[in-house]
Amino acid sequence: MKKFVFYTLLLAFVAAFSFTGCKYDDECDCSGSEPLAYETLTTYLKSVDMDLDKVLTNAAGQKFVMAAPADGNLSGKYIIDIRSAEAFASGHIEGAHNVAFTNILTEANNADKPILVVCFTGQTACYATSLLRLYGFEDAQALKWGMSGWNPNFDSWTANCKDLTTSSNWTTSSATPGVFDAPEWTSTSTNGADILKERVEAVVAAGFKTAKNTDVLDNSSDYYVNNFFSEAHYTGFGHVAGAYRISPLLIDNCINLDPSGKIVTYCYTGQTSAVITAYLNVLGFDAYSLTFGINGMSTSNPFWTAGDGVTNHWGFDSKAKDLPVVTN
């Protein structure tokens, strides 16, 4: 009888431990039997060499974005133009396919050449490119500056380059990020490849997630703001008050991102931040890209004219080319 009681108590203890002893940090779900979907996905991404740095620049050394060629020759690209049908009809690059953003994955399967995504400013196209690369189209690229950089008749940049910073919302002081648990979410799949496919499709269906510069500057405490600059530029240009600089921004560094709030990333043009934001949304963060980057907040910043980052300053080295468009 004593042995029966002993083993009964032992079994009860083991059962209780199996249901209560599995914590989030143990990388398992509340049942104690399966890895967290986040951990399964991120482990898979690292195993196939698709951490964020390999989305920004693929294994072949191709950046996620390419400038419009001087001669306008894009015959080697399968062009997906994700602007509205009306905008497309008003003028587009010859040979381009007009496709809604939500249909980019389907259209990509028709591509017989490396994909080039085109939008108005390059920002939505970069978001799409990040998702395409994660979906297996690793040589996909976006047209830098979008149609704005192709032809001046489609310039959406000049009017959106502004000076909005004040002494209260802009600083050169550094902020130290904290350490957080990973985002919690579930998946209908149990292996990394299927989870990635499911997550990319969900992020495409949700559309481009952006934040306005005025909202972030005026209400920065409502966001977890991440500045994607070098350390020299983080202090040289200054940054949104309270903005962190998570660098390098890789999967292992995502412990410094707060999954409980809205994460806003900004860069110079909103194009790199769009790639990052898409990636973070796939990982399960509630992520947003700040539109137009620092160009839309501090376009007259003296640090621009010092020669740093000039190629990412609209109106300096980067201006609209006068390349041909078709309307049929």
In terms of domains, do 135 and 201 share one? Answer: no
Asked whether residue 182 falls in the same domain as residue 295, the answer is: yes
Please give the full DSSP string across 80-102, using - where no structure is assigned: EE-S-HHHHHH-B-TT-EE--GG
Order of strands across the sheet that contains 65-66: 65-66, 141-143, 115-118, 78-81, 97-98
Residue 100 in domain: yes
| Alpha carbon 206 to chain centroid, angstroms | 14
Three-state DSSP at 318 gives: strand
210, containing H or E segment: strand 210-211
The reply to whether 10 and 123 lie within a common domain is: no
Cα–Cα distance between 149 and 123 in angstroms, integer? 12
For residue 317, tell me if it sits in a domain.
no
> How confident is the model at residue 19, as a pLDDT?
34
pLDDT tens track, the chain, 328 positions: 333 333 343 434 434 333 333 333 444 444 333 469 999 999 999 999 999 999 999 999 999 999 999 999 999 999 999 999 999 999 999 999 999 999 999 999 999 999 999 999 999 999 999 999 999 999 999 999 999 999 999 999 999 999 999 999 999 999 999 999 999 999 999 999 999 999 999 999 999 999 999 999 999 999 999 999 999 999 999 999 999 999 999 999 999 999 999 999 999 999 999 999 999 999 999 999 999 999 999 999 988 877 666 789 999 878 899 999 999 7
Q: What is the CATH number of the domain that holds 137?
A: 3.40.250.10
- Give the model's pLDDT for residue 16: 39
Together in a domain, 234 and 298: yes
Same domain, 104 and 81: yes
pLDDT score at 33: 36
Statement to judge: residues 186 and 150 lie in one domain: no
Range of the domain at 151: 52-156
> What is the total count of domains within the chain?
3
Does residue 44 belong to any structural domain of this protein?
no
Question: What pTM was estimated for this model as a whole?
Answer: 0.89
Asked if residue 198 belongs to a domain, the reply is yes
Indicate if 117 and 180 belong to the same structural domain: no
Q: Are 191 and 239 part of one and the same domain?
A: yes
The answer to whether residues 162 and 241 touch, using CB atoms and an 8 Å cutoff, is no
Q: Which DSSP category does 73 fall into?
A: -
Residue 307 belongs to a domain: yes
Contacts with 86 (C-beta within 8 Å, 6 or more apart), sequence order: none
Burial of residue 202, with CB atoms counted within 10 A of its CB: 0-12 exposed, 13-18 middle, 19 or more buried = middle
Does residue 45 belong to any structural domain of this protein?
Answer: no
In a domain, 43, yes or no: no
Same domain, residue pair 180 and 307: yes
Nearest to 320 by CA among 55, 58, 68: 68
139 plus 202 within the same structural domain = no
- In this structure, is residue 19 part of a structural domain? yes
Judging by beta carbons within 10 Å of its beta carbon (0-12, 13-18, 19+), is residue 110 exposed, middle or buried? exposed
- pLDDT given for residue 35 in this prediction: 61
Amino acid at 127: Y
DSSP states of 279-308: HHHHTT--EEEETTGGGGTBTT-HHHHTTS
Whether residue 235 sits in one domain with residue 207? yes
Task: List the structure tokens of 178.
Answer: 């904290």
SS3 (DSSP) at 265: strand
Q: 197 and 298, same structural domain? A: yes
